[in-house]
Amino acid sequence: MNVNEVISICRTHLLPVLPEFYSLEGYEFQLIPAHEGGRNVVFSCNKTGSDADTDAKILRISFLADRNREDFLAELEYIRYLYDHGGSVSNVVSSNMGNLLEEFTHNYHTYYICMFEKARGKLLVENNYQYREGVPITEYYYNCGKVLGKMHQLSKKYTPVHSRYSFFDKYNAQYIDRLIPKSFTLLKEKMVDLLNSLKKLDKSRESFGMVHFDYSDGNYMIDYNTGDITVFDFDNSCFCWYMYDLANIWTHGVGWTQFEHDADKRKKFMEEYFATVLAGYKSETNIEIPMLDKLPLFINVTVMENIIDTFEVMRNNNEELEVDEELTYLIKCLEDDIPYKGFFHEIYSCEEPFEYVE
């Protein structure tokens, strides 16, 4: 079953009976185009005649068989916990029956339904990556770290009812061997070495817990009146090291200086950028220096995750194996032990960022 088939089923069979699940009288539904590899069908629900974000909702329909009811409940319960304890997240809307999750069955296939308050503001990309007029961009860097720090601090006290999977439940040697073709022998060896390095790290509540696992500017809105950030899309959330989310912030920060020719200037920018992120983060929670020193290791973990995700998309879409310039670049970084996603290495080209050009 592909996304277009699911969209047709949702329009024809689910939306007409949606009032059984949620009170959405006077709302119009607009399909939000899925990104490549998307695992859900998502609609924006806007009240007729109202432009207020406070009235808008987001409807998510999940259809792939890679997750079960327990997985979804664990995700939604975590979001509700964060919201109830002051986390800046898009809250889950309970159904008319008081449930966080509902199910819809059509032709013996089960679809999982949930509803969220729409986060206030805009994505950075919707504002052409321009920040608030008259306000230094460092405010954004600081707030980005602060919001994440608050979520991690709350995670340190979180005891789930339904538990999400842990990092090694998915990222392990057996899964890598099944997913990655045999021709990538060295890549698979490097990934296993990376996993073995992670297994040696501390997994106390201060360093390991529920994380977003995709914390980036595509998954939070910015209120351009206040600078407030509201996080959404916890679809990949799992138990992992908090340092992973911080490394992910680092990897997305390169976009601010990716066209700079001078590697030393890129490095200086990234040091200042990440220091500002950490200042915001540490205003909400603590992180030990030994774990911060593992930043290069966790940047490699984000590279590994990107590679695995690309192979998963090709598999789920039944696509032939295609190793393009971007995937080749990531693979070479791991295979050749090039740190920091190659951003300060001669492999990097500011004309073709993060693409391998021989």
Q: Do 178 and 41 belong together in one domain?
A: no
C-beta separation of 298 from 304 below 8 A: no
Report the predicted TM-score, pTM, of the whole model to 2 decimal places. 0.95
The pLDDT tens digits for 169-191 are: 999 999 999 999 999 999 999 99
Range of the structural domain that residue 47 is part of: 3-117
* 347: in domain: no
- Give a yes or no: residue 273 inside a domain: yes
pLDDT at position 156, please?
98
| Residue 156 · residue 206 · CB < 8 Å | yes
Position 55 scores a pLDDT of 84
Same domain, 27 and 108: yes
CA dihedral 242, 244, 249, 252 (to 10 degrees): -170
Q: Does residue 356 form part of some domain?
A: no
| CATH number of the domain bearing residue 11 | 3.30.200.20
Q: Quick one: 55 and 194 in the same domain?
A: no
Q: What is the arithmetic mean of pLDDT over 277-289?
A: 97
**Do residue 205 and residue 335 come from a single domain?**
yes
Same domain, residue pair 104 and 136: no
Domain assignment present for 228? yes
Among 98, 117, 136, where does a domain finish?
117
Quick one: 51 and 108 in the same domain? Answer: yes
Query: At 319, which CATH number?
Result: 3.90.1200.10
In a domain, 195, yes or no: yes
Q: pLDDT category, 53, cuts 50, 70, 90?
A: low
The answer on 90 and 199 residing in a single domain is no
Does 358 or 345 have the greater pLDDT score? Answer: 345
For 342, left (φ over 0), alpha (ψ -120 to 50), or beta?
left
Question: How many domains are contained in the chain?
Answer: 2
Contact between 315 and 179 under an 8 Å Cβ cutoff? The reply is yes
pLDDT value at position 283? 98
Do residues 170 and 275 share a domain? yes
**Structural element, H or E, at residue 230:** strand 229-231
- Taking only the tens place, the pLDDT of each residue in 70-87 is 999 999 999 999 999 999
Q: With cut-offs at 50, 70 and 90, classify the pLDDT of residue 88.
A: very high
Q: Considering the domain boundaries, does residue 352 fall inside one? A: no
Which of 74, 94, 117 is at the close of a domain?
117
Q: Output the average pLDDT for the chain.
A: 94
Statement to judge: residues 203 and 105 lie in one domain: no
In terms of domains, do 78 and 104 share one? Answer: yes
Angle between helices 263-282 and 137-155 (to 10 degrees): 50
d(CA 79, CA 357): 42
